[in-house]
Amino acid sequence: MSHTVITIARQYGSGGKTVGKMLAKDLGISYYNREILRMASDASGINEQLFAAVDEKLKSRLRRAAQKVYNGELLPPDSDNFVSTDNLFNYQAKILKQLAEEESYVVIGRCADFVLKEYPHVVSVFVHAPQDFCLEQALKISSRSREDMKRFIAKTDKNRGDYYKYHTGQNWYDARNYDLCLDSSKLGFDGCVEAIKGYMKVRGLL
């Protein structure tokens, strides 16, 4: 059977990363998040800190710029735009595609649902939850005040949405971009894992 990739986009505090880790462990496959940045750095020779600086967010000037929808192009080292936000994204996408040829895995964020949309054995998931649930979950691992955390969550989700829009031309919140949209406040993290596995069984991927 071909390799299966589960992509997980998530609102901050919804537990998407937790669900991804649990799913990967349950299925006995790899889990990737920020590891993709290191791998893209190794492949390109570009400092990993440059990848981290634009990780799922845009520089302010790009928020007003025209979208640069990903098309698979990689710029050569002698290009003036070799370390541009666009090319940094392209190298991450290259890694996602290479991994999809080599193994089954779970990946968090990175517009992976869009990058891998032409691959037949991809399951794309969006994990979301009401604001109060996300806030309570986020406060469990942070010393921020409630108001500060509310602002941080809103800013983080806006960054992710802007980043997704810039690189894909699509709305991050649009359910049509995903196979499954799961409310973790209703299903719980275990329930989200089971829902994804159930969908995979129906698709013949499990």
Structural domain spans, the chain = 5-203
Burial class (CB in 10 A: 0-12, 13-18, 19+), 140: exposed
Average pLDDT per 10 consecutive residues for the chain, totaling 206 residues:
90 98 98 97 95 85 72 88 92 97 97 96 98 97 95 96 94 98 98 98 96
DSSP-assigned beta bridge partners for residue 125: 8, 180
What is the predicted pLDDT for the residue at 67? 72
Write down the CATH superfamily of domain 5-203. Answer: P-loop containing nucleotide triphosphate hydrolases (3.40.50.300)
Provide the residue type at 53 as one letter.
A
pLDDT of the residue at 189: 98
41, 159 contact by CB (below 8 A): no
Q: Would you call 181 helix, strand, or coil by DSSP?
A: strand
Q: What is the pTM of this model?
A: 0.94
- Cβ-contact 67, 85 below 8 angstroms: no
